[in-house]
Amino acid sequence: MPKVKVPRKSTSVDMTAMCDVAFLLLSFFILTTKFKAPEALAVTTPKSVSTKAVDQKNVVLITMDKEGKVYFQVNDENPDEKEAVIDAVDQAKALGLTAQEKAAFKRTGAFIGVPFSKLKSYLALSPDQAKNYKAEGIPVDTLDNQMIEWVRAANSAFTGKKMNLLVKGDNDAKYPSFKGIIDALKKNEIFKFSMITDPEGVPAGTDLYKRNQATGGKATDE
């Protein structure tokens, strides 16, 4: 009998559907990605070896720049706490802030770096004016440590929640400013906070390096 020849079929694959899916996924990630906003305060943090990432919820941030100026900020994701903080400071210091001035404190990325005597005029600035304003920093010296009142207001605003207090200092920050911050925390009976640093690799041969090798690089609680 004659052999029956099987017709050859094309091996080409239609990639149109796959390309459509790829572009859809790419568009999804582009539209949903949240880019990090530029930092208003340029601070070069010291390097350290850490095995834990800082919790980004309910954050109160105290920043020191290289000139020793101190700034205070509440996370933008806590608008209610922000409002409670500025209300408490306004009442404690009898500043007479208007609703518009208080709203300026709640603006995205807003921070405070002026003494109470200039707070009202600072909050009256427009966003562009505040961005270019050369703040002198919150006084934290022994005779006039105004950070005490800011920390007290924040501690009260986060009642019932765990307040994550972060201190971010420039590598060249002056020690008196840091001491003033620590004194303000002690006055409010806060003895635990987190330092923001620039993470680096664990030196080989150290105990932490050996522990990470044994645990697969996973953080462990001590």
Report if residue 7 sits inside a domain: no
Amino acid at 127: P
**Distances, alpha carbon 75 to alpha carbons 67, 110, 124, 166, 198, in Å:** 24, 9, 21, 11, 20
Indicate the number of domains in the chain: 1
Cα dihedral 135, 133, 193, 177, rounded to 10, equals -20
pLDDT > 60? residue 162: yes
Q: What is the pLDDT of residue 43?
A: 59
Report if residue 132 sits inside a domain: yes
Strands (E), the chain: 47-48, 59-64, 70-74, 164-169, 194-195, 198-199
Mean pLDDT of the chain: 80
Report if residue 143 sits inside a domain: yes
pLDDT > 60? residue 51: no
Report if residue 130 sits inside a domain: yes
- Paired with 62 in beta bridges are 72, 167
- Which tokens go with 46? 């010291």
Cα gap 61→166, rounded to integer Å: 5
- For residue 18, count CB atoms less than 10 angstroms from its CB and return exposed for 0-12, middle for 13-18, buried for 19 or more: exposed
Instruction: Provide the pLDDT confidence category of residue 23 given band limits of 50, 70 and 90.
Output: confident
Q: What is the pLDDT of residue 212?
A: 54
Could you count the other beta carbons within 10 Å of the beta carbon of residue 182? 16
C-beta separation of 151 from 51 below 8 A: no
Report if residue 213 sits inside a domain: no
C-beta separation of 64 from 56 below 8 A: no
pLDDT > 70? residue 10: no
Cα gap 124→168, rounded to integer Å: 27
Q: Mean pLDDT across the stretch 41-58?
A: 63
C-beta separation of 84 from 104 below 8 A: no
Percent of the chain exceeding pLDDT 90 equals 43
Segment 111-128, tens digit of pLDDT:
999 999 999 999 999 988
pLDDT > 50? residue 220: no
Report if residue 179 sits inside a domain: yes
Report if residue 4 sits inside a domain: no
What pTM value is reported for the model? 0.70
Q: What is the pLDDT of residue 6?
A: 62
Q: What is the extent of the structural domain holding 118?
A: 47-199
Report if residue 26 sits inside a domain: no
Q: Give residues with Cβ within 8 angstroms of 137, minimum separation 6.
A: 65, 67, 68, 69, 70, 71, 113, 114, 177
Q: Mean pLDDT across the stretch 13-22?
A: 70
Q: Mean pLDDT across the stretch 192-218?
A: 61
Q: What is the pLDDT of residue 140?
A: 94
Bigger pLDDT: 20 or 185?
A: 185
